[in-house]
Amino acid sequence: MNVVITGATKGMGRAMAELFAAKGANLAICARTQEDINNLRLELSNINSEVEILGQAADMSKKASVKEFADFIKESWDRVDVLINNAGVFIPCELANPENDSAFEMMMDTNLYSAYYMTQELLPLMLPNKSGHIFNICSIASFMPYGAYAVSKHAMLGFSKVLREEMKTKGIRVTAVMPGATRTASWDGTNLPDERFMKSEDVAEAVWGCYKLSPFTVVEELILRPQLGDI
């Protein structure tokens, strides 16, 4: 099983990489720095020394960088079984303030367009097999107005729905994953206790559970929230 995870070295991406490696999956991962990738590759090898770990630094806000990562994967693999479009960025800002243009564009490029380009590039490694699973890591901001960030995540959910419709007769499953507040680096500095957050490992387990269903069933949308509610 060959699994691609973007933004894999932190938070939910890291938890998913660790779980899939433990389950015996070969992994292709990316992050902004090669140092982070090298550290995670070592950790994943310690989890399971029998799996292949590909890694390349990539700025997922840049179309050219996304395509370079995809080309790197295609040089080694002729098949992809799972694509997890996880790369994302959160920048607090308001739509009405023109000074936020660069922040808004960064979120759209990273949170939406990276998934669009990665999917286009890697679908040729899924379609001939008439199988595969694409997970788009959205957010509860995909259906709630959490600032300008929510626009990118609303779009990501829309992308997932349209892709699901296009792929349903081709044997490829598409799942939009919408986690609530999860204890990741994005929440560093908060005074809230850990019990107010979900664990990244729980999101990873939920993704694995969706993947392990029979090919006759797809979880189209997966919403996860902290037991005590939204923050």
Q: SS3 of 112, please?
A: helix
Q: Does domain 2-224 have CATH number 3.30.420.40?
A: no
User: What ranges do the domains of the chain cover?
Assistant: 2-224
Residue 6 has a pLDDT of: 98
Residue 223 has a pLDDT of: 98
Residue 149 has a pLDDT of: 95
Residue 10 has a pLDDT of: 94
Tell whether the torsion through CA atoms of 45, 47, 49 and 53 is positive or negative. Answer: negative
H/E stretch holding 174 reads strand 172-179
**What letter does residue 58 receive in the DSSP assignment?**
-
| pLDDT single digits (tens) 193-216 | 888 999 999 999 999 999 999 999
**The pTM is what?**
0.95
Interhelix angle 11-22/34-47, rounded to 10 degrees, is 30
Q: Do the Cβ atoms of 36 and 87 come closer than 8 Å? A: no
Q: How far apart are CA 73 and CA 215, in angstroms?
A: 25
Helix intervals (H) in 91-148: 101-108, 114-122
Residue 23 has a pLDDT of: 98
Q: Do the Cβ atoms of 115 and 142 come closer than 8 Å? A: no
Residue 188 has a pLDDT of: 72
Residue ranges, the chain, pLDDT below 50: none
| pLDDT single digits (tens) 26-56 | 999 999 999 999 999 999 999 999 999 999 9
Q: Whats the size of the chain, residue-wise? A: 231
